[in-house]
Amino acid sequence: MANDRTKELQAKTTAFLKKIKTENISAKEIEDLREVLRFHEHRYYIQNDPLVSDFEYDSLYKQLEALEKENPDLIVPNSPTQRVAKGLTKEFPTVQHLVPMLSLDNSYNSEDLIDFDRKAKELTGLKEIEYCVEPKFDGASISLIYEDDHLVRGATRGDGVQGDDITPNIKQIRTIPLSAKFSDYGLQTVEIRGEVLINKDNFKKFNESLTEQGLAPLANPRNASAGTLRIKDPLEVRRRKLEAFVYHVSYYTLKKGAEDLHSHSQTLEMLWDLGFRSPDKEKKVLKGIEAVIDYCVEFENQRDELPYEIDGMVIKVNNFELQDKMGMTSHHPRWAIAYKFKARQATSKLIGVEYQVGRTGNIGPVAKIEPVHIGGVTVRSISLFNEDVIREKDIRIGDTVLVERAGDVIPYIVKPLTELRNGDEKPIKFPRHCPSCGTELFKSEDEAAWRCININCPAQVLERLIHFASKDAMDIRGLGTAIIEKFYTLGLLTSLPQIYQLDYEAIGQLEGFGKKSIDNLKTAIEASKKQPLHRLIFALGIRYVGETMAKTLAHAVDHLLDLQNFDEEALQNLEDVGPKVAGSVVQFFSNRQNIELIQALESIGLQLKNEKKDFTSGGSLEGQSFLFTGTLSKLKRSEAEEIVEQNGGTILSGVSSKLNYLVVGEDAGSKLEKAKKITTIKIISEDQFIKMINKG
């Protein structure tokens, strides 16, 4: 029954999306449209399972707004345009927001913005308007209340009128001050709006730790932050390193005689000065809509370079008097509009599933979909991680699937659109034998992945070779996936030590291998022998040993083979080493074949000793963050980054106020421009960087 209703409303949705005409509309048709909107709001807010894109929802909403404007006698009090959408989670105490948390009107192109500007001029009677433009953060919205300079409450948006009181979790977010001198500005009770985010680096690290434990990674940073806010363990919240931006003061009481706030940009400055992270540095105050459009486009081009996700820009009339004059609808303020960046979601059809064998024998299902363009790339294949993910999402061959690609996060299938099924879809049959060597697959109780346990399985050997030579492992340039596959198929490369004993005469006979490319390959292979121990440990591909863990292990020994003497207990005494890693390391080093492999690599001349670094002569970079941009002439980017990390510094992925040093090479672009605007960032050359580390 419920399914029939869904189908009926989906059919109506499609009809409304096709029909944009507004003339001669009947009361019944308007009510139908309201019903369609309520249905989609319910799917979005309550079921957390939308059936239409934001864009489609917005066009339906705008259609209703337009219809009601033309037919004001047909407006009803419970129209979606007359209220804020409902929907609450019951897990935390429910609290009332001091002022309802409204949404933003959306726009998708410059015409929409020009239209917004025209209306703003009409409503204010001005010829030119000053706007404040800032990023639209893609996270989970929150409201904070400060009473007499102290944080007293933090809440989720909920239905906009009431939210969940999540104060203990909010207090774990370092970028939210527990107290702030609002009294210096004459403010007593203050309600603030903001967005909780997890930055791309931390999201990646968090996901790596999940995959290292054999768990499925989280879909995107937005889901990760919204989910984390609802965890009932504040310490776990702290571990996930959430951040928050605040961008709006929704309510305040002013002490007698104090000067009132007069503009949005001034409010962002105040929040910044009080210790909040507001978009004070990212904002721009601009006159006229043309400049606004330019800034939006400029920012969209830099989107991938930011350390966190944004999904658009927000344009706000800067002056508060003008804002008051323009007022709000029950859904959004009339003085602001969101400019949404190009969608990074699309639908496609699932054609089939292929199974890849990983280097540790794990079988990874990969969805093959009809090619679809998302955010500038064509997506054809998407990892489905493991059998559980397929079952939980109930993905079937022939399904229309919703695909998302957020920033530099790999694309993933959000869900199948089950309402669009016609009955021909086929369940996915997970294989029980290795697709490469035919060995029966094995699955341990505590793991989601099926595995091929044949250590000599050709697919695993190939994957181990690819991993060994890869950028984050031994970084052998010129020995990429395609070349390794070619050599492997021809029998020229079948084991790790053979990388160092290649038959260059035979290779020279192959098409595309001239003297120059062979010389380059030889040099790169030779250079890799000097890679530091932690890279070699990572390159060996020991299960659950990622880059960070490899550093911990390398740090604990003088020579790689010393790890033979560590039992599980000794390993677990090392930082962040849990029973899984310890078990895996012990297993690896108790296998004769592995020891022989390591000995072979040593006799070839690889670096198995833990060389204490040359740079650490006093000059630690502890607590300092670095980012490299442009082409470096003396160091490889990866070497430079490694030097920073070896000296206790950290590498950031984008320019933000957290950055201490931007090291600039040749042809530096937008990162340099951005850093120039943040006065606390020190901009240095590669030579200055080298001097800095050598000085110690």
Cβ closest to ligand IVH, residue 137 vs residue 589: 137
| Per-residue CA distances from 655 to 9, 27, 329, 673 (Å) | 46, 53, 37, 10
The least CB distance from residue 66 to ligand IVH, in Å, is 20
Residue keyed to tokens 């397929």? 390
DSSP state letter for 263: B
Tell me which residues in 349-378 interact with ligand IVH (CB under 6 A). Answer: none
Choose which of 34, 40, 97, 136 interacts with ligand IVH (CB under 6 A): 136
Cβ closest to ligand IVH, residue 137 vs residue 626: 137
Q: Please, what is the angle between helix 27-41 and helix 54-70, to 10°?
A: 150
Q: Compute the distance between CA of residue 683 and CA of residue 660 in angstroms, rounded to an integer.
A: 9
What element of type H or E holds 467?
helix 458-469
In the complex, which residue's CB is closest to ligand IVH?
141
Cβ closest to ligand IVH, residue 323 vs residue 646: 323
Cβ closest to ligand IVH, residue 130 vs residue 602: 130
Q: Please enumerate in sequence order all residues whose Cβ is within 8 A of that of 296, keeping only pairs 6 or more positions apart, or say none.
A: 113, 133, 312, 313, 315, 339
The least CB distance from residue 64 to ligand IVH, in Å, is 18
- By the 10 Å C-beta count (0-12 exposed, 13-18 middle, 19+ buried), 388 is classed as middle
For ligand IVH, how many residues bind (rule: CB under 6 A)? 15
| Per-residue CA distances from 486 to 153, 236, 357, 665 (Å) | 61, 46, 18, 35
- Residue 367, CB-side half-sphere exposure with 13 Å CA sphere: 32
Does position 104 interact with ligand IVH (CB under 6 A)? The reply is yes
Does position 280 interact with ligand IVH (CB under 6 A)? The reply is no
The least CB distance from residue 102 to ligand IVH, in Å, is 5
The least CB distance from residue 77 to ligand IVH, in Å, is 22
For residue 319, give both structure tokens: 């002056």
245 bridge partner residues = 195
The least CB distance from residue 248 to ligand IVH, in Å, is 5
Query: Which listed residue (28, 119, 136, 316) is catalytic?
Result: 136
The least CB distance from residue 164 to ligand IVH, in Å, is 15
Q: Compute the distance between CA of residue 446 and CA of residue 150 in angstroms, rounded to an integer.
A: 45
The least CB distance from residue 316 to ligand IVH, in Å, is 7
- Residue 74, CB-side half-sphere exposure with 13 Å CA sphere: 19
Choose which of 79, 141, 169, 199 interacts with ligand IVH (CB under 6 A): 141
Cβ closest to ligand IVH, residue 314 vs residue 441: 314
| Per-residue CA distances from 544 to 263, 538, 555, 579 (Å) | 52, 10, 17, 11
Does position 103 interact with ligand IVH (CB under 6 A)? The reply is yes
The least CB distance from residue 195 to ligand IVH, in Å, is 5
* Residue 448 near residue 388, CB atoms below 8 Å: yes
Cβ closest to ligand IVH, residue 289 vs residue 338: 338
The least CB distance from residue 215 to ligand IVH, in Å, is 29
The least CB distance from residue 292 to ligand IVH, in Å, is 14
Tell me which residues in 325-344 interact with ligand IVH (CB under 6 A). Answer: 333, 336, 338
684 bridge partner residues = 663
* Residue 468 near residue 460, CB atoms below 8 Å: no
Among 68-76, 134-142, 343-351, 563-571, which window interacts with ligand IVH (CB under 6 A)? 134-142
- By the 10 Å C-beta count (0-12 exposed, 13-18 middle, 19+ buried), 224 is classed as buried
Cβ closest to ligand IVH, residue 136 vs residue 240: 136
Among 99-107, 294-302, 517-525, 668-676, which window interacts with ligand IVH (CB under 6 A)? 99-107
First to last CA, the chain: 73
The least CB distance from residue 687 to ligand IVH, in Å, is 39
| Per-residue CA distances from 48 to 164, 562, 600 (Å) | 16, 51, 55
Residues 293-322 vs ligand IVH: string with x where CB under 6 A?
Answer: ---------------------x--------
Tell me which residues in 635-664 interact with ligand IVH (CB under 6 A). Answer: none
* Residue 439 near residue 452, CB atoms below 8 Å: yes
> Read out DSSP for 199-260?
-HHHHHHHHHHHHHTTPPPPS-HHHHHHHHHT-S-HHHHHHTTEEEEEEEEEEEEE-TTPPP
For residue 255, the tally of other CB atoms under 10 A from its CB is: 11
Cβ closest to ligand IVH, residue 286 vs residue 608: 286
- Residue 242, CB-side half-sphere exposure with 13 Å CA sphere: 32
Q: Compute the distance between CA of residue 240 and CA of residue 230 in angstroms, rounded to an integer.
A: 12
Q: Compute the distance between CA of residue 466 and CA of residue 380 in angstroms, rounded to an integer.
A: 22
Residues 420-459 vs ligand IVH: string with x where CB under 6 A?
Answer: ----------------------------------------
For residue 389, the tally of other CB atoms under 10 A from its CB is: 17
Cβ closest to ligand IVH, residue 134 vs residue 641: 134
Choose which of 30, 67, 102, 237 interacts with ligand IVH (CB under 6 A): 102
Cβ closest to ligand IVH, residue 318 vs residue 528: 318
Tell me which residues in 473-532 interact with ligand IVH (CB under 6 A). Answer: none
DSSP state letter for 609: B
| Angle at alpha carbon of residue 463, lines to 441 and 466, rounded to 5° | 175
Report how far Cα 81 is from the mean position of its chain's Cα atoms: 32
Residues 66-85 vs ligand IVH: string with x where CB under 6 A?
Answer: --------------------
For residue 246, give both structure tokens: 């605040």
Cβ closest to ligand IVH, residue 338 vs residue 664: 338
Tell me which residues in 186-215 interact with ligand IVH (CB under 6 A). Answer: 193, 195
Cβ closest to ligand IVH, residue 25 vs residue 226: 226
Length of the chain: 696
Q: Compute the distance between CA of residue 91 and CA of residue 109 in angstroms, rounded to an integer.
A: 39
The least CB distance from residue 647 to ligand IVH, in Å, is 36
The least CB distance from residue 336 to ligand IVH, in Å, is 6
For residue 691, give both structure tokens: 């001097």
Does position 345 interact with ligand IVH (CB under 6 A)? The reply is no
Q: Is 612 a catalytic residue?
A: no
Choose which of 39, 57, 116, 137 interacts with ligand IVH (CB under 6 A): 137
Alpha helices, DSSP H, located in 502-613:
504-508, 515-528, 533-539, 547-555, 568-572, 579-589, 592-604
Does position 248 interact with ligand IVH (CB under 6 A)? The reply is yes
> Read out DSSP for 389-440?
HHHHHT-EET-EEEEE--TTSPPEEEEE-GGG--S--EE----SB-TTT-PB
Choose which of 41, 68, 134, 212 interacts with ligand IVH (CB under 6 A): 134
Cβ closest to ligand IVH, residue 323 vs residue 386: 323
Residues that bind ligand IVH (CB under 6 A): 102-104, 134, 136-137, 141, 193, 195, 247-248, 314, 333, 336, 338
Q: Which residues are marked as active site? A: 136
